[in-house]
Structure 1
Amino acid sequence: MKFFIYIIAYPLLWLISKLPFPVFYFVSDCFYILLYRIVGYRKKTVRANIKMTMPELSDKEVKQVEKESFRHLCDIFLEMIKTFTISEKELKKRFSFTNLDTILEIEKQGRSIMLFCAHYANWEWIIILDKFIKFQGYAVYKKINNPYFNKLIKKIRMRFDTVLIEMKETIKVTRKNELDKNHGVYAFISDQSPMISQTNCWQEFMGIEVPIYTGGEALCKKFNMIPMYLEVEYIKRGHYQATFIPLLEEGENIKDVPNYEIMHRFLGKVEQTIRKAPAYYFWTHKRWKHQGKKPKNIK
């Protein structure tokens, strides 16, 4: 059945990826009508998340953010498909970096970079970074259940030389690279919600205490990497701009930073990004589902 679904979907996905952008975004608008107005996919979740984290917004403002976020969600889904066939030249035009010199200077120091990213704007097109840097770029991902679609998504995300690391292999791969002095840029999408049993750290995010992933910070400290937040901004439809923001103060040593402080700084930066333009966050994700469930043995 999984293979049958794949062979039916594959030609359609390929055709969508080949559409010229005006037609491509018309298709996205059609998806929006289907997803938001007809199906109502996770509409209650999105509305509840926005109200919970930004109680200062009026009902009218919440509704506006909700609608815009669903439009953007459809764009993101199709833009991931577009990566299937988009050219390097076109993607560079649509996803730019404001301060690449920051990364290139760190490369000269011979230290790996831990790039903390969020589900904001278009996180899929970050893969074009590999065409600008000398270090190898790595992206940590979670394997999906359908092996055929998993293989396809890997193929799409590796088109511009990014190497994908399955989550459970992250420590092993990173350790080997660092021992071999094969320094790289490691991208972690670090704003998602872990299972309560998989974390011993809770922090405030968007005004609510939530469990957080700490693996990226742990690797950063263990291998003396430089932590950065990649802030991606929505410029206009199909165009994004990214900025590298240090998560260390000037002269600060990663080894001296208290545990979980890097994650605290990262989440603070993500919150600032979201509050500037909330429509481009991934509100369908149940990020705050563990509210009020913090175990008593965790401070």
Structure 2
Amino acid sequence: MNPPRKYPWYYRPLEWLLLGLAYLPLRLLYGLADGIYLLLAFVIRYRQQIVLTNLRNSFPEKTDAEIRRIARQFYRHFAEVMVETLKLGVMTPAELKRRVFFRNPEVLEQWHAKGRTALGLSSHAGNWEWVLTSGAVWLSARADGVYKPLSNPFFEDFMYRLRTRTGARLIPMRETLRNLVRNRGDLRVVSLLSDQAAGPEDQPYWTTFMHQDSGFYTSADRLAAQFHYPVVYVSIQRQRRGYYEIVLTELYDGDAPLEPGKFAITDAFVRHLERDIRALPSDYLWTHRRWKHKR
């Protein structure tokens, strides 16, 4: 695992400002989030056309007024995720465990009790930054997350520290296979954010997702077949402001034969994710260009 990169000294004031804000109580940070929401939604209009296009294509049955209402709700949620992520800089494991409740951790613990590593498939829904960090607090085995390093050295270093404060470890995406082979004997859950847009070079699994032709990475199927990993879908659902519930669903037991070229695990992930998005559409990351590639 690569250490975070060093960044130039002139980022220090920004680091002090962000950490200073992190010490504020969440109720005050949510006041800041209200201001960020207004800025994103009505002043900057951050990626507004992408958001509206994604929503219209995903919910063709909804009126334009409904689409714009979901968009506003999304921007508010997005702003709250920003300050909640910042709060990770000072949040104690006890507070994080109080705010993120694992309804059924036994779905993963059954495999850890047998000495088996499992894969957790999650998405950019709810507060995705609290999934890995809370998993490190709730689960008996280590929680590792596959991630794409940021290009800016300061934000790469800052986010790296936020994401690993509770004991989680990060695996750069390009080193995933090497890391799994090198640490094959480690007992852990390896988390994958599986809703990224896969490009043609990734030989994606194509399917209909939210009424649109969508390409998904097939890493879960390939790694499960190679290492006999059980696979679990991780659903994070917002209960109220600052509180989430994680529900785990087993997608694969790690032993049953997987038919080559069918990508049954990835398809099951897509169907569960689609169900969650339809249940609470404002909590998905609609600024993400999920459908930028064509078959």
TM bucket normalised to smaller: over 0.9
Aligned residue pairs total: 287
Q: Distance in 2 between matches of 1:19 and 1:200?
A: 43
Q: Distance in 1 between matches of 2:31 and 2:256?
A: 47
Q: Distance in 1 between matches of 2:232 and 2:51?
A: 28
Structure 1 residue 257 displacement after superposition: 4.3
Is the Cα–Cα contact under 8 Å of residues 225 and 254 in structure 1 kept in the other structure? no
Deviations 1:15-46 (A, max 9, x none): 22111122110000001111111110001110
The structure 2 residue matched to 1:247, chosen from 251, 255, 264, is 251
Deviations 1:84-114 (A, max 9, x none): 1111111111111000122211111222111
Give the match for residue 142 of structure 2. Answer: 136
Q: Distance in 2 between matches of 1:4 and 1:95?
A: 35
Structure 1 residue 228 displacement after superposition: 0.6
Is the Cα–Cα contact under 8 Å of residues 228 and 247 in structure 1 kept in the other structure? yes
Is the Cα–Cα contact under 8 Å of residues 217 and 262 in structure 1 kept in the other structure? yes
Change (3 A) 1:4 1:29: farther
Is the Cα–Cα contact under 8 Å of residues 119 and 230 in structure 2 kept in the other structure? yes
Give the match for residue 116 of structure 2. Answer: 111
Deviations 1:136-167 (A, max 9, x none): 21100111112222112111100111110001
Is the Cα–Cα contact under 8 Å of residues 36 and 79 in structure 2 kept in the other structure? yes
Q: Distance in 1 between matches of 2:223 and 2:187?
A: 13
- Whether 1:202 aligns to 2:226 is no
Secondary structure of 1:37 counterpart: helix
The one-letter code matched in structure 2 to 1:245 is T
Give the match for residue 80 of structure 2. Answer: 75
Is the Cα–Cα contact under 8 Å of residues 121 and 281 in structure 1 kept in the other structure? yes
- Whether 1:282 aligns to 2:285 is yes
TM-score scaled to structure 1, two decimals? Answer: 0.92
Q: Distance in 2 between matches of 1:84 and 1:252?
A: 36
Is the Cα–Cα contact under 8 Å of residues 201 and 212 in structure 1 kept in the other structure? yes
Identity of aligned residues (%): 28
Secondary structure of 1:256 counterpart: coil
The structure 2 residue matched to 1:24, chosen from 29, 38, 51, is 29
The structure 1 residue matched to 2:224, chosen from 217, 220, 223, is 220
Change (3 A) 1:60 1:4: farther
Deviations 1:185-220 (A, max 9, x none): 000000010222222431221121112111232112
The CA RMSD measured in Å over matched residues stands at 1.5
The structure 1 residue matched to 2:177, chosen from 150, 163, 171, is 171
Give the match for residue 3 of structure 1. Answer: 8
- Whether 1:263 aligns to 2:266 is yes
The structure 1 residue matched to 2:18, chosen from 10, 13, 22, is 13
Q: Distance in 2 between matches of 1:252 and 1:17?
A: 40
Structure 1 residue 182 displacement after superposition: 1.3
Q: Distance in 2 between matches of 1:9 and 1:270?
A: 36
Structure 1 stretch displaced more, 151-160 or 199-208? 199-208
Q: Distance in 2 between matches of 1:100 and 1:211?
A: 30
Change (3 A) 1:52 1:222: same
Gaps of 5+ in 2: 1-6
Q: Distance in 2 between matches of 1:185 and 1:85?
A: 24
Deviations 1:35-79 (A, max 9, x none): 111110001110110000110111111111100000011111111
The one-letter code matched in structure 1 to 2:258 is D
Secondary structure of 2:166 counterpart: coil
Secondary structure of 1:169 counterpart: helix
Secondary structure of 2:190 counterpart: strand
Secondary structure of 2:195 counterpart: coil
Which stretches of structure 1, 4 residues or more, deviate above 3 A after TM superposition?
A: 251-255
Structure 1 residue 131 displacement after superposition: 1.9
